[in-house]
Structure 1
């Protein structure tokens, strides 16, 4: 039976067409765009969708109109309205990623768009419109910005912003490209190759960019404290995805950065305004074979319900994705093959990924978006393809996963050129749905139709700004107990691949008919227990006040 069905063509999302360079994918910039965010921008309780768009070299040269991003307002019952122009969020730059965070604590969701060129910060005006305040506030990052994340790393109650940098790419000095290699008189050895076939160049051989941490000051402007906080990445790794997380559970937000073709970085918050990079000693820099991988996307979640967050990283084809189990005290072990994610992910080139309990049994499963960067793989007997299926892995509750078969005609059976992935309960039926942003194609809107799912509860957390917790509660952790099962969910901005999941915390309860205990650790480190009278609904919890609706 189908788990997900594709509803795209029945909605306004079918009118969106992503575009990123030419079909041949001659340059690395043409193959990696496509973040997506799900959030409630207008406060009506419905989750809305923002799709990042790419661009073209010709548009950057001013010779054609650039593609436009799109914001779709959720009207309910799987109906969406394109409100891009009304909201003023078309971007019209070469977009890469998006991260949502209410940086000014006014109760309206703002969002950062990482671009190639100059990035944007869209401030929510609270009336259905946005204003780009990136230049005014000091976060108009130049260069190649990718998967950003919001988080209050210094405990002042104001959200700060981390932005990874990818490649120092100059459109006025383009590297050799595969289309040129096909012309008469060209020598193949002068071009970048994959298995003897000319392909786009990079990231290896290209200069990497550093990363940027913007600290928010009391006046609402931001200052670049990348060097002072030790997260500037002087090595110039190729940054793709990031998230502020509680890696060692000391109430301070740490930071993980997933890099392409270079080691991953884990920054532990020292509590004095600086971080210590511990990627190697923690065990997350490399895989179990001691190799760097082409890290793309990032999922953060406690898959084995031991109370600690684990990391799942997507990688290039001809390599496996990697699952890092959190052993405690900031130490991680690569358990990829033991968990069933080794050979099964080898043919796929992974991007967006997320831990999600698709069947509401109380254990987090994994959804992964895939798609190659080399169109030339089609027609070759290499065991991979350019368009690829989504992967869904069911959690077997014993630290192992199994791939869920793709029912014919279902969303899991589609061949997609996927990049960004975000999830949310888009119709309020208690089951998590999703959106995939596909490069050079329309997006894929997937509805969860899994049969026999368990009970559930969803929590919207609101922090107390007066107590130095960000209002959207980024950095909060909820622990929910039913019987012997204790689950954990974290409020996180960013992650996946250049994307942003709905920040309402969704818990599957299985056959449980009540919540035995709910503990919330707020961003300021304070804890409180909350009585939960009902299940199978979404509840709003205000710090210090309990359930308010």
Structure 2
């Protein structure tokens, strides 16, 4: 079944131009590409099966000189991939956002009462569940009911929860029932977006199956992903803490599999906090996980993050023990599937609390942990995640949000050894599995107690910017007993958003205080999407203790743009999750890459559309698509810009 779609004036179907398998277009050289590095899973009609490269499992090579962004003044290429005008002037050098949530129907929500786990929760997902071409919103929280908002043609939102078939929950924090992560995905290939909701506390996971007419039926238990278990009340938190989730076709069989990320308390001996710098990390503390026994060990084993394989019909089986990695003790927050080495297999970037973030390389029949080998894992309290190409070298980079104590160190206290003091991390990837820490070079370490994060081009100047939101309201943890904790808690409660403008120079410019994008509440999920279809990305911010914020992007003087939506009706993965799009580099202009994803940030999932800022470029000859089950790129003609380009595979 294909649901109707609006806003398709620039629809492109079929294979307009298909590259010969295994080849890139003539006269195109990708920065940092390695043509001698074969993919062991790649096949070519002209070459048969390519044998595995014995160097694939080698240690990362010494990093080459990092690719530098283009200078402020560049030359327009033949196909319009670069700009003559200094891109630093686009958008006036700053951003402007206006809060409009109360004007469009998103303010009539109850406030959340304080609770330990509730302070972690405030989720959102964006998707067109009814196929009318407008993006709808789903909001989660702890102890108050989840809400589904349908977008109207006028640009407002209407609460349709009660009529949708979704469970309307009532209660209080004492009931220990809530939801956190949610993600839209077509699990059964019928063209309609279904909805997975991760349970928190005594709430099992929920899987709402879309009937194609705007209604849902909850079928988590029948389809195998309810994953509910019980523990004794002596545990610090109730059994379920599914704070992240993502779908991906990690086995490339044409359907979407699911990863649910479970947070759990730390496994270590409590020790004094040693200092505010990354050199004195809490990651060096003793971690006695192997010595645990009895009830505590059983809890941590059962609360481990899960891999769910799609059986091909929208039902799932737990394959966690067959994936080749041990995630026991990983206090997981945000899973993002992204292909860091461009071998067409989705790898897993997983942020984790208490020094447990991981990079898992997809081997084709499972995953291998390459965190240490890649130079990663130094973040202390990894929460939000962005996996995208910030420096325009054609390789995926990784930003992880964390906890920073502020300029005077007030947030770094010895009485809270589980709270790190070294803040966010930004790593630039080399495409081979090596990552370089450039956090301080680009000035993005300090954002207080940071949660949701996103990397998108908010002024359409051709470079991805970085947004981080945060704030943490502590419901206990000794506030009344220790003055230093009380002072730190007051600092973290005063959370605000941070927006770094990606310029050609480092450090990036932080403009959150001048943009208007300041959340007065305790922000968790963050989703960029174009709410009013004007070509500028707006921001949805979900808060743990109140209504969401909708920040309308009103930046003036922005550049040109493209919005790309892919559909694949040849497989059950109808939304083409995992497809990679690139505009190849030509004549000094940088390469642009992006991937279609579900589950893309802290307790959040975006709409799956790809937004490309183009600066002064008014014409793009073509871009390339590598479909999720393919190893080769197919070329599609574009032409004029400032529009939606909709591609259906092989139609």
**Shorter-chain-normalised TM-score: which range?**
0.7 to 0.9
Moved more, 422-431 or 385-394: 385-394
Query: Is 2:509 aligned against 1:417?
Result: no
- In structure 1, distance between residues paired with 2:524 and 2:534: 26
Query: Is 2:261 aligned against 1:158?
Result: no
Note the C-alpha offset of 1:167: 2.1
Moved more, 69-78 or 306-315: 69-78
Q: Find 2:193's aligned residue among 96, 102, 109.
A: 109
- In structure 1, distance between residues paired with 2:467 and 2:404: 17
Q: Find 2:108's aligned residue among 15, 27, 36.
A: 15
The CA RMSD measured in Å over matched residues stands at: 2.5
Map of 2:645 onto structure 1: 539
Query: Is 2:451 aligned against 1:351?
Result: yes
Q: How do 1:127-276 residues align onto structure 2 when only pairs under 5 Å count?
A: 127-142=213-228, 143-167=240-264, 208=300, 209-234=303-328, 236-271=329-364, 273-276=365-368
Question: Is contact 1:16–1:70 with CA below 8 Å preserved after alignment?
Answer: no
Query: Is 2:376 aligned against 1:284?
Result: yes
Note the C-alpha offset of 1:274: 1.3
Query: Is 2:525 aligned against 1:432?
Result: no
Question: Is contact 1:360–1:431 with CA below 8 Å preserved after alignment?
Answer: yes
Secondary structure of the residue that 2:551 maps to in structure 1?
strand
- In structure 1, distance between residues paired with 2:574 and 2:539: 25
Secondary structure of the residue that 2:321 maps to in structure 1?
helix
Map of 1:38 onto structure 2: 126
Secondary structure of the residue that 2:459 maps to in structure 1?
coil
Map of 1:290 onto structure 2: none
- In structure 2, distance between residues paired with 1:487 and 1:204: 44
CA deviations over 1:165-207 (Å, ceiling 9, x no partner): 11279xxxxxxxxxxxxxxxxxxxxx99999xxxxxxx99986
Question: Is contact 1:34–1:419 with CA below 8 Å preserved after alignment?
Answer: yes
Q: Find 2:428's aligned residue among 325, 330, 336.
A: 325
CA deviations over 1:223-243 (Å, ceiling 9, x no partner): 100010124513x21111101
TM-score by length of 2: 0.71
Higher-RCO chain (CA-CA 8 Å, sequence separation at least 6):
2
- In structure 2, distance between residues paired with 1:239 and 1:194: 22
- In structure 2, distance between residues paired with 1:33 and 1:91: 18
Distance 1:505 1:18, change over 3 A: farther
Secondary structure of the residue that 1:12 maps to in structure 2?
coil
Note the C-alpha offset of 1:400: 4.2
- In structure 2, distance between residues paired with 1:478 and 1:495: 16
Map of 1:529 onto structure 2: 635
Secondary structure of the residue that 2:373 maps to in structure 1?
helix
Map of 2:467 onto structure 1: 367
Distance 1:511 1:192, change over 3 A: same
Q: Find 1:313's aligned residue among 383, 400, 408.
A: 400
CA deviations over 1:112-159 (Å, ceiling 9, x no partner): 111113001111111011111111110112232121010001111010
CA deviations over 1:438-490 (Å, ceiling 9, x no partner): 11111111100011100111010112434xx7111110111125861321111
Note the C-alpha offset of 1:503: 0.6
Question: Is contact 2:624–2:636 with CA below 8 Å preserved after alignment?
Answer: yes
- In structure 1, distance between residues paired with 2:619 and 2:506: 25
Question: Is contact 2:95–2:459 with CA below 8 Å preserved after alignment?
Answer: no
- In structure 1, distance between residues paired with 2:288 and 2:157: 41
Distance 1:232 1:462, change over 3 A: farther
- In structure 2, distance between residues paired with 1:283 and 1:475: 25
CA deviations over 1:247-276 (Å, ceiling 9, x no partner): 2211011111111112211111111x2111
Map of 1:59 onto structure 2: none
Distance 1:275 1:371, change over 3 A: same
Question: Is contact 1:213–1:232 with CA below 8 Å preserved after alignment?
Answer: no
Query: Is 2:174 aligned against 1:71?
Result: no
Higher Cα radius of gyration = 2
- In structure 2, distance between residues paired with 1:240 and 1:31: 14
- In structure 1, distance between residues paired with 2:494 and 2:321: 40
Secondary structure of the residue that 2:106 maps to in structure 1?
helix
Secondary structure of the residue that 1:161 maps to in structure 2?
strand
TM-score by length of 1: 0.84
Question: Is contact 2:497–2:512 with CA below 8 Å preserved after alignment?
Answer: no
Q: How do 1:385-404 residues align onto structure 2 when only pairs under 5 Å count?
A: 385-398=492-505, 400-404=507-511
Distance 1:105 1:91, change over 3 A: farther
- In structure 1, distance between residues paired with 2:381 and 2:154: 39
- In structure 2, distance between residues paired with 1:538 and 1:517: 14
- In structure 2, distance between residues paired with 1:487 and 1:91: 43
Map of 1:485 onto structure 2: 590
Question: Is contact 2:570–2:649 with CA below 8 Å preserved after alignment?
Answer: no
Query: Is 2:609 aligned against 1:504?
Result: yes
Map of 2:381 onto structure 1: 294
- In structure 2, distance between residues paired with 1:338 and 1:126: 49
Q: Find 2:556's aligned residue among 440, 445, 451.
A: 451
Distance 1:132 1:18, change over 3 A: farther
Where structure 1 has 5 or more consecutive residues not aligned to the other structure, the ranges are 56-66, 170-190, 196-202, 288-292
Question: Is contact 1:389–1:414 with CA below 8 Å preserved after alignment?
Answer: yes
Distance 1:374 1:130, change over 3 A: same
Runs of 4+ in 1 over 3 A off after TM superposition: 191-195, 203-208, 375-379
Map of 1:95 onto structure 2: 179
- In structure 2, distance between residues paired with 1:223 and 1:379: 46
Note the C-alpha offset of 1:53: 1.7
Secondary structure of the residue that 1:258 maps to in structure 2?
strand
Distance 1:297 1:307, change over 3 A: same
Map of 1:58 onto structure 2: none
Question: Is contact 2:449–2:492 with CA below 8 Å preserved after alignment?
Answer: no
Secondary structure of the residue that 1:336 maps to in structure 2?
coil
- In structure 2, distance between residues paired with 1:284 and 1:4: 34
Q: Find 1:51's aligned residue among 114, 139, 146.
A: 139
Question: Is contact 1:461–1:541 with CA below 8 Å preserved after alignment?
Answer: yes
